[in-house]
Amino acid sequence: MSEADTQATDILLPSAEVAVFSRDPETLRNSGEIRNDWRFARVSLHVQDGDVETAIQLYSGRDAPELLIIQTDTIDEGFLGRLEALSAYCSQDTAAVIIGPVNDVYLYRSLIDMGVSDYLVRPVMKDVLSDVIAKTLVSRLGVSGSRLIAFMGTKGGVGASSLAQMAALGVSEMMGQKTVLIDSSGGWSSLSVGMGFDPAGTLREISRAVDRNDEAGLARMFVEQGERLKIMAGGGDALLDTTILPDQYERFLDMLMVKAPVVLADLSASEPGLRKLLISRANHICLVSTPTLTSLRFARSLIKEIADLRGGDKDDLSLIINRMGQVKGHEVSLHEIEKAVELSPAASIPYLPNLFMANESNMRNVLSDKDGQDILKGSLLSIIRKTVASDSEDYIDEKSEKKSGLLGSLLTKKR
């Protein structure tokens, strides 16, 4: 792979399904280890002990993936015939990579002419295989970025931080997505309390790491919670100091969003310039309010300002009414809220002090409580799923659209 190819695929790869069929233990092991490559966070990789016949049996009853990798010990007319039989069960855009026993330039050209994306000679090292998969997926599907979802409260104390933390746990554990949770609050960050860790850095240190392009230093400022969630371990800043400029924070976002499928940002206590940056860049915004006049007055103003920042668009803005039922006689009803702010609430969350106080005071995981799971399943994830699910709608450039997969080329040859 050339240096240009490597740079082009050193990114978060688009959502795709890849299946590997081999009877060689080394190939199977190397294929399985690709799952640890950060680029493959959105790639569903299936590694199976088998060959072309196994693939034919499997995909005669279900849809074939975007990429098939098949290893064979013999490249002859019999194998090519079975490869053609397999194509009958593939879509026109299915790509194929063949791993074979011999290095033969004429064979390579013949396979490429049939529509095979690449031909590799065993043994195939993990790095070679991962780069070939990456190159093929980018060539076929194009490149798409990760999803940024911002949580912001209409004022302090409405629960935006708690809901952002809850959403991060839900996306990573319930939806199975690799997720990063960040904020831009500096010393005012509540992540370390709600998520149970000690602050490991400051926004100034993050800005210096970004300026030096120091990815290793930046990685040390994150803590892991489970297999799929990373949390920015900030909060060490002095409370009254200026922390980070918007252009520095944007470079930080740029570094994050080529590697993280889902980034959740808590905008609570952030400076206005940073809020504007994140609101402008977010794929979706969750605006959290309580059903009180003060909070709703801010909500109405913020909804207009957010829409103005995003060209008048409110489609990617969800209003969440939190702490419903806290003081029933003094609350504004959901019907009246919709009339007042001219936006229908996307979710209403009941007042559950035991759940959220246990999280804040005792660092108790909100998913350990049934009420927390119900909020996630019934409210937050239904909002987030619309944005995260759109990862599969990847952009395809004109060159990619012109390329046929394995089935397309073989059918052309038949005609």
- Please check whether the two domains, 3-143 and 147-392, share a CATH topology: yes
Pick from 202, 166, 167: which is nearest to 185 by CA?
Answer: 202
* Residue-by-residue pLDDT tens, the chain, 415 positions: 544 455 456 778 888 999 999 999 999 999 999 988 888 888 999 999 999 999 999 999 888 999 999 999 988 888 889 998 998 888 877 899 999 998 878 788 888 887 888 999 999 999 999 999 999 998 888 776 689 999 999 999 999 999 999 999 999 988 888 899 999 999 999 888 888 888 888 999 998 998 898 888 888 999 999 889 999 998 889 898 878 899 899 989 988 887 888 999 999 999 999 999 999 999 999 999 999 999 999 999 999 999 999 988 899 999 999 999 998 889 999 999 999 999 999 999 999 888 777 666 666 677 777 888 888 888 899 999 988 863 333 333 333 343 455 544 543 443 2
CB-count burial class (<10 Å; 0-12, 13-18, 19+) for 96: buried
240 contacts: CB under 8 Å, gap ≥ 6: none
Distances from the Cα of 294 to the Cα of 153, 287, 290, 299, 373, angstroms: 12, 15, 9, 9, 29
CB-count burial class (<10 Å; 0-12, 13-18, 19+) for 315: exposed
- What is the residue extent of each domain of the chain? 3-143, 147-392
CATH (residue range 3-143)? 3.40.50.2300
| CA–CA dist 18, 388 (Å, integer) | 20
| CA–CA dist 158, 190 (Å, integer) | 14
CATH (residue range 147-392)? 3.40.50.300
DSSP 93-127: T-EEEEEES---HHHHHHHHHHT-SEEEESS--HH
Token couple for 15: 């959502």
Distances from the Cα of 58 to the Cα of 24, 62, 126, 244, angstroms: 19, 7, 25, 53
What integer pLDDT is reported at residue 415 of this predicted model?
27
| CA–CA dist 342, 403 (Å, integer) | 46
What integer pLDDT is reported at residue 196 of this predicted model?
82
